[in-house]
Amino acid sequence: MTDFPPPYPTAWPTRKPADAGLDPAAMAAAARHAAEHETPWKRDLAEMVLSDFSERPPWNETLGPVRPRGGPNGLLLRGGEIIAEWGDTTQVDMTFSVAKSYLSILAGLAWDRGLIADPHEPVRRTIDDSGFDPPHNGAITWHHLLQQTSEWEGVLWDKPDLIDRNRASAGRPSAAPKGTHRDLQRPGEFWEYNDVRVNRLSLALLRLWRRPLPEVFRELVMEPIGASPDWEWHGYRNSWIELDGRRVQSVSGGGHWGGGVFISARDQARIGLMLLRGGIWGNRRILSEAWIERMLEPCPLFPQYGYLWWLNTDCGLYPSASAKSYFARGAGGNLTWIDPENDLVAVLRWTDPAAMDGFMKHVMRAIRG
């Protein structure tokens, strides 16, 4: 068994399902299921970005790069080896909100180094850019931003937080239309999926690190885990700031208005394997176990969410997966599934979100034989 694959571009070790304790027929069915249930999203993602988030002009204006996507692809790891693979897993595509989970890793790296003393500390104690001024925004903590309970109010990169108000409350569609007024609650008292607020977190992390976040991510995560050099992380044409005399772009936490992380399934699998191994890669610690524990603590207002990672608490997200599973999820059918109980990492690209649980059902059948 190979716990960690060699660095790119050396071949990633593979193993037959039977040799990894998996039923070959069920594993083949899982791969077929993912490949044959392509997302309903068109391959012209520029059209999807403009139309799929239910926004009227000018709120739907695309600000960052968008590229056409490839076909369905993915892989499943057990013991750090590739057990199943379908499609072109080296295809570099947009990942949409998978980028949010990578922001969580960057926050953890900052906490590990003392840049964030306490996640429950108000952000304004370390970030002084008027974005967290009292009264309302002054009470917002890093914890609130990471759990999507901040209720941050304002406009960032020409996008008001109102765009995503009433988008989803505790994982359920809101009673009011997306983008309409909702009275804000105190920070920490309401869970809402809001991309403007996630971008506000990204800007705060940029100011905290005082370096471009892709540069930090490359140095502290991607190079140590042997990823390819092909991934990219973009912001918007108007998300540039002056930082210590340097013009730096604040990256987005998804592709809602373009930008975000462009990456292959294989590189995403490396990130997932690092987390599965408790933040370790080989003999090097990348991320502390203490942060991973915080990251996976269920939000009391929405137990299927942690620190920008989706959780399977009580199997409430994907009934067929283990309750300890957690996920990075992106619009259009992008998923990284990490299952510590069964030593699994799976990455699915452009598989219909409605078919994800079916894939997991096949995998669990393969485990049970």
Q: What CATH number is associated with residue 232?
A: 3.40.710.10
Which DSSP string corresponds to 294-323?
HHTSPBTTBTTBSSSSEE-GGG-S-TTS-T
Contact 161, 154 (CB under 8 A): yes
Q: Is residue 147 part of a domain?
A: yes
pLDDT score of 290: 98
pLDDT score of 86: 98
Q: Residue 339: enclosing H or E segment and its boundaries? A: strand 334-339
Structural domain boundaries, residue 267: 43-74+90-319
Q: Is residue 29 part of a domain?
A: no
User: 344: number of CA atoms within 13 Å, CB side?
Assistant: 27
Q: Is residue 102 part of a domain?
A: yes
**Cα 86 to chain centroid, rounded:** 22
Q: Is residue 106 part of a domain?
A: yes
Residue entry with tokens 């994907």: 318
User: Domain tally for the chain?
Assistant: 1
pLDDT score of 114: 98
Distance (Å, whole) CA 138 – CA 134: 4
Type of residue found at 204:
A
pLDDT score of 52: 82
Measure Cα distances from 306 to 101, 144, 242 in Å: 10, 11, 32
Q: Is residue 360 part of a domain?
A: no
Q: Is residue 196 part of a domain?
A: yes
pLDDT score of 173: 78
Measure Cα distances from 180 to 54, 78, 173, 174, 257 in Å: 12, 45, 13, 11, 19
Alpha helices in 142-212, H assignment, sequence order = 142-147, 195-209
Q: Is residue 9 part of a domain?
A: no
Q: Is residue 354 part of a domain?
A: no
pLDDT score of 2: 62
- Each of the 369 residues of the chain gets a pLDDT tens digit; together they read 568 999 999 999 999 999 999 999 999 999 999 999 999 999 999 999 998 888 989 999 999 999 999 999 999 999 999 999 999 999 999 999 999 999 999 999 999 999 999 999 999 999 999 999 999 999 999 999 999 999 999 999 999 999 999 998 777 778 899 999 999 999 999 999 999 999 999 999 999 999 999 999 999 999 999 999 999 999 999 999 999 999 999 999 999 999 999 999 999 999 999 999 999 999 999 999 999 999 999 999 999 999 999 999 999 999 999 999 999 999 999 999 999 999 999 999 999 999 999 999 999 999 998
pLDDT score of 5: 97
CA dihedral angle for residue 261, residue 319, residue 295, residue 77, rounded to 10 degrees? -60
